[in-house]
Amino acid sequence: MVSYIVDEYEERLASGLPLGRIGEPMDVASAALFLAS
């Protein structure tokens, strides 16, 4: 029951993001590396 609620929450959250998914640490690292170069 709880996992269903968590999955539904993640889907609703991701649907409002431009990327269409929740970001990962590697996404932030890549952006930081780009900006630092």
Q: What pLDDT is attached to residue 37?
A: 95
Q: What pLDDT is attached to residue 30?
A: 96
Q: What pLDDT is attached to residue 1?
A: 61
User: Phi, psi at residue 23, to the nearest 5°?
Assistant: -65, 160
pTM exceeds 0.85, yes or no: no
4: left (phi over 0), alpha (psi -120 to 50) or beta: alpha
Q: List per-residue pLDDT tens for the chain, 37 residues long.
A: 677 788 888 889 889 888 888 889 999 999 999 999 9
- First CA to last CA distance, the chain: 46
